[in-house]
Amino acid sequence: MRVPSVIARPLAEARLLLDDVGVQVVSIVDTAPPGRTPVGPMRVVRERTTDEGVSLVAAASIVLADSDDRNV
C-alpha cells in the first residue's frame, strides 16, 4: 500500500488523511526544544512507515522566545 506523505501537515489533518486511506497511526511523539515552551498547532516533522502502520513525530509550529533570545 502506498502511504501518502504527511510531512509539514498539521497533526490533526495528517491523522485524518492517513485514516481516510486506511493507514493506521501506530505512534505519535511530540517534541519540544529544550528549555522552551512550544505553542500553536502541532505539525508532522517526521514519518516512519512500518508493517503495522505509520509512526509520526510532531513539533509545535510556534516557539515562544525568551527575552534573552531577541535581537533588539
What confidence tens digit (pLDDT) does each residue in 26-46 have?
A: 999 988 777 777 677 899 999
pTM here? 0.78
Pairing mode, if any, of strands 25-31 and 38-49?
unpaired
Biggest CA–CA distance in the chain, Å, is: 51
pLDDT exceeds cutoff 70 at 63: no
What pLDDT is stored for residue 72 in this prediction? 42
DSSP calls for 4-63? PP-TTSBHHHHHHHHHHTT--EEEEEEE--TT--EEEEEEEEEEEE-SS-EEEEEEEEEE
pLDDT exceeds cutoff 70 at 10: yes
Whole-angstrom Cα Rg for the chain: 15
* Mean pLDDT over the full length of the chain: 85
